[in-house]
């Protein structure tokens, strides 16, 4: 069960996946959902009831958030390519959650992709203004002290950078989780760095990869990854 659940979470964070779980009435539900941009919600911390937690996901067919008991997970299917409409609905649902969180808690941390492709981590509160086109979300940036907006389809998720680490470079690809056992350090967790995406963002064609150097990856790493990379570099330097 643990491996099946981990596989589901891994796939949901990378795209849209079909899976099956038992409902409270005992019948099976064939669902199609995702965790694009935002992590799942688990209620409770007791180790004894490890698989009685509630798992929340965005249901693509119902266009809303649903949940089920983790121990009732039956089967996990394959990832599928996202359509433009599905992607928009996912981002829109996340923005609705952002708005609700801001309304309830005030200043909220979140992230979105700017027009130049870079990720902006922001803290903000609700703004009195709205975008009449419906394409942008308007908020008051508490870091910059000014009103800002971002394109809804460019929204990444809610939380601080560390909380969004596993989702920042989420892509809709058909890939399988690695069976390799790492040390748990951040430098072993670079799977979220999509090299093709980084190259494209910097205007480097795949056939011109010789122009792209390892050092060019540094802007893509978060604080913890950079710390561990420095440690590994120091270890390597000591052996030379």
Q: Mean pLDDT score of the chain, rounded to an integer?
A: 74
pLDDT tens by residue, 195-217: 555 555 555 555 555 555 566 66
Closest-CA residue to 138 (of 157, 124, 121, 117)? 124
168 pLDDT exceeds 60? no
33 Cα distance to chain centroid: 14
Do the domains at 1-80 and 85-168 have one common CATH topology? yes
Given this model, what pLDDT does residue 138 score?
95
CA 5 to chain centroid: 17
Highest average pLDDT, of 69-83, 126-140, 167-181, 192-206, comes from 126-140
Label residue 106 left, alpha or beta by phi (over 0 means left) and psi (-120 to 50 means alpha): left
Cα→Cα distances 27→8, 72, 74, 79, 139, Å: 20, 10, 11, 24, 43
- Whole-angstrom distance, CA of residue 233 vs CA of residue 221: 15
Q: Does the predicted model carry a pTM greater than 0.75?
A: no
Beta bridge partners of 113: 119
CA distances from 158 to 40, 111, 181, 223 (A): 11, 7, 29, 18
Lowest mean pLDDT among 22-26, 130-134, 202-206: 202-206
Q: What is the mean pLDDT of residues 29-55?
A: 61
Helix (H, G, I), strand (E, B) or coil at 200: helix
- pLDDT category, 230, cuts 50, 70, 90? confident
85-168 CATH fold: SH3 type barrels. (2.30.30)
| Residues whose CB is less than 8 angstroms from the CB of residue 87 and which lie 6 or more positions away in sequence, other chains included | 36, 153, 172
pLDDT tens by residue, 50-73: 445 788 888 888 877 888 988 899
- d(CA 116, CA 75) in angstroms, rounded, equals 39
What CATH number should be reported for the domain whose range is 1-80? 2.30.30
**Domain range summary for the chain, segments of one domain joined by +:** 1-80, 85-168, 195-239
3-state class (DSSP) for residue 114: coil
């Amino acid at each position: 069960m643990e491996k099946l659940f981990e596989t589901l979470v891994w796939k949901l964070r990378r795209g849209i996946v079909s899976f099956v779980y038992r409902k409270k009435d005992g019948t099976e539900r064939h669902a199609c959902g995702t965790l694009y941009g935002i992590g799942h919600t688990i209620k409770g911390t007791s180790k004894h009831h490890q698989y009685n937690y509630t798992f929340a996901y965005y249901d693509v067919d119902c266009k809303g958030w649903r949940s089920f008991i983790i121990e009732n997970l039956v089967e996990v299917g394959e990832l599928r390519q996202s359509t433009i409409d599905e992607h928009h609905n996912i981002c829109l649902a996340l923005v609705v959650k952002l708005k609700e969180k801001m309304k309830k808690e005030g200043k909220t941390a979140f992230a979105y992709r700017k027009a130049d492709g870079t990720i902006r981590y922001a803290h903000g509160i609700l703004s009195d203004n709205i975008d009449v086109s419906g394409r942008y979300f308007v908020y008051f940036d508490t870091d910059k002290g000014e009103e800002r907006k971002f394109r809804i389809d460019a929204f990444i998720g809610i939380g601080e950078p560390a909380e969004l680490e596993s989702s920042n470079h989420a892509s809709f690809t058909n890939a399988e989780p690695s069976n390799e056992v790492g040390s748990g350090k951040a430098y072993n967790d670079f799977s979220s760095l999509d090299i093709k995406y980084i190259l494209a963002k910097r205007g480097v064609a795949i056939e011109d990869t010789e122009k792209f150097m390892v050092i060019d990856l540094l802007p893509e790493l978060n604080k913890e990854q950079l710390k561990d990379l420095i440690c590994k570099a120091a270890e390597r330097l000591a052996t030379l």
